[in-house]
Amino acid sequence: MTERDCPLCRERGKTWEGSDPVCAFTSGGLENRFSFINWSCATTNKLRNIAEKLGLTYRDDLGAGSFGALPFEGPNYQGYIVMTWYKNRGKTDNAILMCYDEPIRELTLDIAMEAIQYWENEWREKKHEQQ
Where on the chain is the footprint of Zn ion (CB under 5 A)?
6, 9, 23, 41, 43
Query: At closest approach, how far in Å is the CB of 82 from Zn ion?
Result: 18
Q: Is 3 exposed, middle or buried (0-12, 13-18, 19+ CB in 10 A)?
A: exposed
| Comparison of 6 and 97: residue with beta carbon closer to Zn ion | 6
Half-sphere exposure of 117 (CA within 13 A, CB side): 12
| Comparison of 6 and 115: residue with beta carbon closer to Zn ion | 6
Query: At closest approach, how far in Å is the CB of 107 from Zn ion?
Result: 12
| Comparison of 4 and 73: residue with beta carbon closer to Zn ion | 4
Query: At closest approach, how far in Å is the CB of 128 from Zn ion?
Result: 29
| Comparison of 6 and 116: residue with beta carbon closer to Zn ion | 6
Cα separation, 25 vs 129, in Å, equals 35
Cα separation, 93 vs 97, in Å, equals 14
Query: At closest approach, how far in Å is the CB of 51 from Zn ion?
Result: 17
Say if residues 66 and 47 touch (Cβ distance below 8 Å): no
Say if residues 38 and 24 touch (Cβ distance below 8 Å): yes
Element spanning 17, H or E: none
